[in-house]
Amino acid sequence: MGHLHILNGPDTGLCFELKEGANYLGRSPQNDVQLQDETVSRRHLRILKKSRRYFLTDLGSRNGTLVAGKSLVPGVEVQVREQDLIAVGMTIIGIGDEACAQIRPFLDSVGLAKASGNSSGIYSAHKEKTNQRKLELVYKVTELLQRSLSKRETLAVLLDILFELLAEVDRAAFVLVKRETGEIVHALSKQKGSGRGDGSGFSEKIVARVLEQKKPLIISDAREEDQQSELTDTLAMEHITSVMCIPMVSFSEVVGVIYADSQTNPYPFAQEDIILFEDIANRTAAFVLFENLTEG
């Protein structure tokens, strides 16, 4: 028999044997795989095992099912591979002992191994599909960085993806720096209600601090920031209520930052957001560094 592993959420660590034929997953005790996660429907998913092949059907669940970064159409059966990550509601599951052992370190690296998701700032926009949106982001970024697009085109698409995920922020930007001097050489930004553009859609002082310290900066609510903080005046003068700035690092070299802020309502950036965006930042940094070398 194959095994289904619960990789995060309230049932983390549980393992279920999948019998030949149909297996049902959901909150109801009548299911073959019963989960405690309230974001999972009472009868959420059918897993059909045919020898060593597996087929999934979402049974019209409230919060949907994500497989390898793609949302399932309810009632439509799709084949799944053992290495594919599956998200039902906020819970992430996998099939196969060996494959799941390899998946766990990956979930750690993107902040999804232990995170419930509901403390994330992303939750304010995506609610009970937050972990699905996070996984979707990772798959989209991986696919994007493998395409034959220019550096600018890649960063432009990535900026749109990040803006869609964060949803309630007012500005987001990629800021790139010169290797030898750390001087800003290019910035691509986007503001709510307007398109992408070159320019200063970010706080230069905050970016400078993150580049100097090479550490992420996260402020969820500037009103609660220590009044003795060196950033207090900057936040007030630039009308920033929340900010996240993550250095982009590859081979110990900082090539820029990912920046996002809110200038209206505070945005609850959380520690688990930092872990996710550090992974995205470092993947992007490796891409930028390679492009810089080929261009030079």
Cα 165–107–249 angle (5° rounding)? 70
Does residue 186 register a pLDDT over 60? Answer: yes
What tokens were used for 32?
A: 């073959």
Query: What are 32-87's pLDDT values in tens digits?
Result: 999 999 999 999 999 999 998 999 999 999 999 999 999 999 999 999 999 899 99
Window from 34-43, 61-70, 124-133, 220-229 with minimum mean pLDDT? 220-229
Which letter does DSSP use for residue 19 in this model? P
130-146 mean pLDDT: 93
Which letter does DSSP use for residue 263 in this model? S
pLDDT, residue 79, reads 97
**Cα separation of 194 and 80, whole Å?**
39
Does residue 273 register a pLDDT over 80? Answer: yes
**How many CB atoms are closer than 10 A to CB 193?**
6
**Cα separation of 200 and 166, whole Å?**
19
Does residue 263 register a pLDDT over 60? Answer: yes
- Reported as type and span, the H/E element at residue 167 is none
186-196 mean pLDDT: 81
Whole-model pTM: value is: 0.87
> What does the mean pLDDT of the chain come to?
89
Give me the phi and psi of 153, to 5 degrees please.
-60, -40
**3-state SS of 20-66?**
CEEEEEECCCCCCEECCCCCCCCCCEEEEEECCEEEEEECCCCCCEE
Does residue 227 register a pLDDT over 90? Answer: no
**3-state SS of 127-188?**
HHHHHHHHHHHHHHHHHHCCCCCCHHHHHHHHHHHHHHHHCCCCEEEEEEECCCCCCEEEEE
| Phi-psi label, residue 75: left if phi above 0, alpha if psi -120 to 50, beta otherwise | left
pLDDT, residue 198, reads 58
What tokens were used for 252?
A: 């110990």
**Cα separation of 92 and 90, whole Å?**
7
Cα 90–96–98 angle (5° rounding)? 110
